[in-house]
Structure 1
Amino acid sequence: MAATGFLLPALSEQRIFKRHRAPVSWCGHRNLRRSFEPPVAATAFLLPSFSDPRIFKPHRPPVSWCGCLNLRRSFGPPAAALPASSGQSLLFAKADLLDLISDQERGVLTEGNPARRSEIVRAVEALSVYGKDMTTSGPSLSGTWRMLWTTEKEQLFIIKNAYLFGTKTGDVLQVIDMEKGLLNNVITFPPSGVFFVRSTCQAASAQRVNFRFTSAVLRGDGWQIPLPPFGQGWFESVYLDEDIRVAKDIRGDYLVVDRAPYTWTE
């Protein structure tokens, strides 16, 4: 059974959450793409992410990415043209993806830009080449992951339209504990609101994780509304390192997340 999303009635869009900039660690990577061709496509996968009600400002790229966004100005061929064993090639592929999504408002702007979406998917596929032999469904998957970009329409709808309910969308997170077999999908609404969906999860292969929703809660300041569980599915993390993770889910949606600088708990 396919996983179901946060389905809401159609509402007219009037304003969009402030531009979400890439984490500080991408510092040198942002302009790499200006001098190079997009990497050659290879097969890849992606998925969605979520975050804590205490942190609402759009975050900048992690400090660890700091010299990457400008690398493409200094070097020749794009990542996919270099041998898969080349560390420099991996750095290019990662920088290319982060640069492409850095101005896309977590995917809101990509919805109306098929050309940019295709570019991002090609960059995802190029990066997935370096993750094909990784085991990404083990302990390294555990943690609080913060969404940088997605194609998941229900999440993007909430990001765009939270203001209609007198709030705005903060961090969107995926909180995973593989040892306990738990997964929480979290959307925060400043100053104290949060919507989260509890799930059980289990590794199905080296990169695939199966999950089943068990309950959901919409919580505000001093109140909460329990909601029924609504589905099951799987996702594959096709690339994972100390900074980011890239995934594709059962519905074919893509997700790029980074490791949040905090741990979200209920």
Structure 2
Amino acid sequence: MSSKLIQPPSIAASRRAIPRRTRNPKVFVSFTNSNGRTLSFSDIPNRLRPIFIGKVTEQSSCSSSTNEQQQQVEEGRTVSQIKEELYEALKGINRGIFGVKSDKKTEIEGLVKLLECWNPTPEPTGELDKIGGCWRLIYSTITVLGSKRTKLGLRDFVSLGDLLQQIDIAQGKTVHVLKFDVRGLNLLDGEFRIVASFKISSKSTVEITYESSTIKPEQLMNIFRKNMDLLLGIFNPEGLFEISYLDEDIQVGRDGKGNVFVLERTE
């Protein structure tokens, strides 16, 4: 009679569960030195070699953009061209206040991210003189739709004019002005004004605190009186605000709610 040595199932299974070691495993190591530079290494056994050296920046918005977007710039699209494309994309959408089609919104936000990747002022709160002055909103992801738009009369009775931001660096104040045209009352120069203060929170972020608001003239106040909380809830700038792109002409910012704002300098 022949006999066979039968291995217990548990031992056989445990051996099969152990994967074979691969040869020459690679390990990636990175660290930041005192000069703010990141060094990364590929560890091929017994040898370390640098594979990337780059400057560390505090710009979260750019890091979320795709490699394809960055490649588009590297292949020849200049910042001026990106800005021209952005202005072209913004035509006819009334700053996005009353909604934008999804494909158009994707196009605009893609261009905004490209700009953020080439921000010439990565630490804007350290160069406050570049922020001061008057800015006009040309795009925002904040929208006034449906019943909100109806309650505020922003369909036929009231037209929304310029949205301006006046920044006084010396006083640490911002004044946000919403211009209105109320054709029904022959008012061509009404406005909603919000005064706020700001303080530096980080190299690219400020914290905005609401102080007061007024509506002029009195006839316009009578229209909005019942919906003041709604109006303020939409346009109140209070909270953290990150300046993600800043040059002589354009400012891009993001608030704590994820809204995007694009502003152009104006007199």
More strand by proportion, 1 or 2? 2
Deviation at residue 250 of structure 1 after TM alignment: 0.8
Alignment of 1:1-266 (within 5 A): 42-43=62-63, 80-83=71-74, 89-108=78-97, 111-131=99-119, 134-137=122-125, 138-154=128-144, 162-163=153-154, 166-190=157-181, 191-220=188-217, 232-261=238-267
Amino acid at match of 2:199: Q
Which protein has greater RCO, CA pairs closer than 8 Å, 6+ apart? 1
Q: CA deviation at 1:112?
A: 4.3
Partner letter of residue 216 of structure 1? S
- The 1:169/1:99 distance shift into structure 2, 3 A limit, reads same
What is the total number of aligned residue pairs between the two structures? 187
* RMSD of Structure 2 on Structure 1 (CA): 3.6
Deviations 1:204-263 (A, max 9, x none): 2222111110111111168868979877301111111111111111110111111123xx
Change (3 A) 1:258 1:201: same
Q: Secondary structure at the match of 2:177?
A: strand
Please tell me whether the aligned partners of residues 244 and 258 of structure 1 are also in contact (alpha carbons under 8 angstroms): yes
Per the TM alignment, residue 42 of structure 1 is displaced from its structure 2 partner at its CA by 4.1
C-alpha contact 2:160 2:180 (8 A) present in aligned 1: yes
Deviates more, 1:117-126 or 1:149-158: 149-158
Q: Structure 2 unaligned segments of length 5 or more: list them.
A: 1-60, 182-187
Deviations 1:110-138 (A, max 9, x none): x2411111111111111101117523231
Rg (Cα) greater in structure: 2
Q: TM-score by structure 2 length?
A: 0.59
Identity of aligned residues (%): 22
Uncovered stretches (5+) of structure 1, i.e. residues with no partner: 1-40, 46-76, 262-266
Cα distance in 2 between the residues matched to 1:140 and 1:155: 34
Change in CA separation of 1:133 and 1:210 when aligned onto 2, cut-off 3 Å: same
